[in-house]
């Protein structure tokens, strides 16, 4: 073998050694540094001949191979969700404003309730008078029935005397005839000539002012809320004054009534505030709003508590520093009977009652209280409550009342 051939053999061996050593070195490097980063093939451009898309510059949300930071591990293709934009909070729901039932004819609609509660008075009288035997014992029974219905002694005497005269003159006890006589005499006692309207329109360019008073438990605040519905149904602009600052929930209760029909309520932020100050602020706010009427609710108080009655007088005097009080409504529970009469007398002396609101008239057989309180005070029953519903407060209708008694 020549020297050249020997040299080529050495070169071939050397190359082989270099290849082997290089392979070993590469294997060691892979063992220390981990796997190499594999890049996917470059995607084609969106247009023929256009530039290739730069994967590193792809926007968030693009599909591609992503590398976990701090690692050489290759992740499988996935979708990156874009950040969600902040969604503005939904607007507060607008409260639904109710449209109250028109007050006209309410008492006639509620006539059945009134008739059921006064069965003892109407039907009892008719049974006695048309029984065919009207001796002294029968007339005494008629008197007892009327007194039990809280008609009062004077009114009972007048009614019995009038019926005795008619029976003696006509000489009949026919039921239809007696019914007509009884209706006529009861209607006379109820007195349909009295003005039963509630002041609800602006007076001399200012809002009418209505003060609502009464003892505890008569449903006074509820009555104010229901009266607001009556006035709203007549298209009046109403403002409520929450001057009952002693009962914790009174202002909240009144405000809820107002919100249901879109009526604002003036109230104090703290319990035990001066009720006269709240009443004053309510009347002033009503004037600024150019409302038709402001209804001022007051705390219930017993008529025999001199200090509380004096405070009620103060509320009225403070209101009158900026506006006359056009109406003072006394809320009476019809089930209290003659006790309600004593309440009415004291309240009338302190604040000058102009009208009566009789509540719970559907739950008593003592419908005669209507006659008794009117005769005693000389002021009319203007509104009656005949149920728990929001529109169960009705303007008093004398004819509907008497007809309901006799049904």
Helix (H, G, I), strand (E, B) or coil at 22: helix
Q: What is the CA radius of gyration of the chain?
A: 45
CA distances in angstroms from 146 to 98, 131, 254, listed in the order given:
41, 17, 37
Q: How far, in Å, CA of 210 to CA of 200, rounded?
A: 8
Binding residues for GTP: 214-221, 297-301, 359-362
Q: How far, in Å, CA of 144 to CA of 139, rounded?
A: 9
Q: How far, in Å, CA of 122 to CA of 271, rounded?
A: 47
Q: By the 8 A CB rule, do 337 and 366 touch?
A: yes
Tokens representing residue 321 in the block:
């520093």
Binding residues: 214-221, 297-301, 359-362
- DSSP 8-state class, residue 96: P
166 backbone dihedrals φ, ψ, rounded to 5°: -65, -40
By CB neighbour count within 10 A (0-12 exposed, 13-18 middle, 19+ buried), where does 407 fall?
middle
CA distances in angstroms from 157 to 160, 163, 182, 402, listed in the order given:
5, 10, 14, 18
Q: How far, in Å, CA of 376 to CA of 378, rounded?
A: 6
Q: Strand order of the sheet with strand 265-266?
A: 265-266, 238-243, 293-298, 208-214, 327-333, 355-359, 381-385, 393-395
The backbone region for 272, taken as left when phi is positive above 0, alpha when psi lies in -120 to 50, beta otherwise, is left
Tokens representing residue 109 in the block:
């609609």
CA distances in angstroms from 295 to 41, 108, 130, 256, listed in the order given:
82, 26, 47, 15
- DSSP 8-state class, residue 74: B
């Amino acid at each position: 073998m020549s020297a050249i051939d020997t040299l080529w053999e050495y070169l071939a061996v050397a190359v082989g050694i270099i290849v082997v050593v290089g392979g070993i070195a590469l294997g060691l490097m892979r063992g220390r540094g981990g796997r190499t980063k594999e890049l996917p093939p470059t995607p084609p451009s969106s247009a023929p001949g256009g530039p290739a898309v730069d994967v590193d510059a792809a926007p968030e949300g693009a599909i591609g191979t992503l590398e976990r930071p701090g690692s050489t591990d290759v992740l499988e293709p996935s979708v990156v969700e874009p950040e969600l934009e902040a969604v503005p909070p939904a607007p507060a729901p607008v409260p639904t404003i109710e449209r109250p039932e028109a007050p006209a004819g309410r008492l006639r609609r509620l006539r059945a309730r009134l008739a059921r509660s006064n069965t003892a008075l109407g039907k009892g009288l008719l049974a006695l008078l048309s029984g065919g035997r009207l001796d002294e014992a029968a007339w005494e029974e008629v008197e007892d029935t009327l007194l039990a219905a809280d008609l009062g002694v004077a009114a009972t005497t007048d009614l019995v005397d009038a019926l005795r005269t008619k029976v003696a003159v006509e000489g009949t006890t026919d039921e239809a005839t007696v019914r007509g006589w009884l209706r006529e005499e009861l209607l006379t006692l109820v007195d349909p000539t009295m003005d039963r309207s509630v002041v609800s329109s602006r007076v001399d360019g200012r809002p009418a002012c209505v003060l609502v008073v009464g003892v505890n438990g008569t449903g006074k605040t509820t009555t104010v809320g229901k009266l607001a519905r009556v006035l709203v149904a007549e298209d009046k602009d109403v403002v409520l004054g929450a001057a009952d600052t002693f009962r914790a929930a009174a202002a909240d209760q009144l405000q809820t009534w107002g919100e249901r029909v879109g009526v604002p309520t003036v109230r104090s932020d703290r319990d035990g505030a001066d009720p006269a100050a709240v009443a004053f602020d309510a009347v002033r706010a009503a004037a600024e709003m150019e409302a038709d009427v402001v209804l001022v609710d007051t705390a219930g108080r017993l008529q025999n508590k001199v200090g509380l009655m004096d405070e009620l007088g103060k509320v009225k005097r403070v209101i009158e520093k900026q506006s006359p009080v056009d109406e003072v409504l006394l809320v009476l529970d019809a089930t209290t009977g003659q006790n309600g009469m004593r309440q009415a007398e004291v309240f009338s002396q302190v604040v000058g009652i102009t009208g009566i609101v009789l509540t719970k008239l559907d739950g008593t057989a003592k419908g005669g209280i209507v006659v008794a309180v009117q005769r005693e005070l000389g002021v009319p029953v203007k509104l009656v409550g005949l149920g728990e519903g929001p529109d169960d407060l009705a303007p008093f209708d004398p004819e509907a009342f008497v007809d309901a008694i006799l049904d």
